[in-house]
Amino acid sequence: MSGLGGLNKSKAGVVLGLVQLQLPVVVTPADLAAQTRRICEMVGKARRNMATMDLVVFPEYALHGLSMDTNPAILCTLDGPEVAAFKAACVEHRIWGCFSIMEANPGGNPYNSGLVIDDQGVIQLYYRKLHPWVPVEPWEPGNLGVPVCVGPNGVKLSLIICHDGMFPEMAREAAYKGAEVILRTAGYTAPIRHAWRITNQSNAFQNLAYTASVCMCGSDGSFDSMGQGMFCSFDGTVMVEGGGRPDEIVTAELRPDLVREARAGWGVENNPYQLWHRGYVAVQGGAQDCPYTFMQDMVAGRYRLPWTDTVQVTDGTSCGFAPPTRQYGGAEPDPLTLRKVA
C-alpha cells in the first residue's frame, strides 16, 4: 500500500519522489551549469507533480553523467555554486532533496558524494560512496561511514550509492544506526537490472526497512541507464516500480511507524535483532557472540578469501586507469557532526 503514490497522505506517512532523470553529457563548466539548472527545474516539477511530496531523490550521476571524468574544472565542493543552487531550490519549493555530486578531493581522486538537503536549505546528511564500482569508477573510497539523519516527519534516513547496495553489510549498517528508509541512488545500466531488483528487495526485508532506489534513465549516446525507480516494503515486496521513461517521477507514501511496529513486535524474521540473539528460545537472551569468521578477520586486518590468489582484476587498468600508488588514508569524522557540535 502506497497511499496511491502519496495522493492520500496519512498523518504518519512520508511521501518520496524518485526522479528517473535523463542521462546527461557533461564535459565543460557550461555543461555543468546547465545540468545544475536542469536539476533545480526538476525539483520544481516534483513539487508541482505531488503537493504532498516530502523528499525528492535524484540518481547518482544526475549532475555529471557517466563519463567518469575527473577534470577539476567540472568537480564540485560543498560550498560551490552547484550545491548552493540545490539548497536554494529546496527552499524555494519547500521540499527536501537528495542530490549527487562528484566532489573535489585535495588529497587524491574525487569523491562520489551524496547530500540530503532539508527544506530550509541545510545539509542534513553528507555521504561519500564507500564502494566505488570497480574497476570502472575512479572515485576515492568513502571514509565517513554510513550516516543516518532525521528527515521529514521524523523518518530516519540513510543513503547508499549504487554498488554499495550489492553488499548486504551496507544496508545492515544503515539499519543498525536506525535507518527506517534506505535511499539508494545509481547510474546503473540495463545489464544490472535483475541484481538491482533482488538486492533492493533483500536489503529491505533483511533489515525491516523501506528501500527507495532510483537510477539515471535514457541514453547519452554511449550508455543506456535503466531508470527503474523502485520502492520496496520492509517485508521485501515491491510496492511501486517505474520503467524506462526518462524524467518520470515515481512516488510512494512510506510509513515509518509501521517499520517501528515491525521491529518492536515481530518474532518470526526480526532479522536485525536476532542476528545478535541467536536461538533465544533455547538459551536466555540468545547467543551473543560473533561466529562469522569474515567479520573477525576484517577487524583484525587479515581478511583473505580462499580464492584470493586467483583473482585477476585488482585495479582499474582494464578500464584505462593507471595503477594507484597511494594507500587508503582511513576514516575521517563526519564534518556535519563536527559542525553541529561546534
Q: Which of 87, 129, 232, 248 is catalytic?
A: 129
Residue 95 · residue 126 · CB < 8 Å: no
Q: Which of 40, 60, 180, 232 is catalytic?
A: 60
3-state SS class at 1: coil
Instruction: Pick the closest to residue 125 from 93, 157, 83 (CA basis).
Output: 157
* 296 CB neighbour count, 10 Å cutoff: 12
Q: Which of 40, 90, 149, 162 is catalytic?
A: 162
Tell me which amino acid residue 65 is: G
Element (DSSP H or E) covering residue 75: none
Q: Known catalytic residue: 11?
A: no
Q: How far is CA 301 from the centre of its chain?
A: 27
Q: Known catalytic residue: 76?
A: no
Instruction: Pick the closest to residue 264 from 239, 231, 256 (CA basis).
Output: 256
C-alpha cell at 222: 554511449
Beta bridge partners of 248: 20
Beta bridge partners of 15: 253
Q: How close are the terminal C-alpha atoms of the chain, in Å?
A: 42
Tell me which amino acid residue 309 is: D
3-state SS class at 264: helix
Q: Which residues contact 227 (CB under 8 A, 6 or more apart)?
A: 20, 214, 215, 216, 217, 218, 242, 243, 244, 245, 246, 248
Residue 95 · residue 88 · CB < 8 Å: no
Residue 225 · residue 195 · CB < 8 Å: no
Catalytic residues: 60, 129, 162
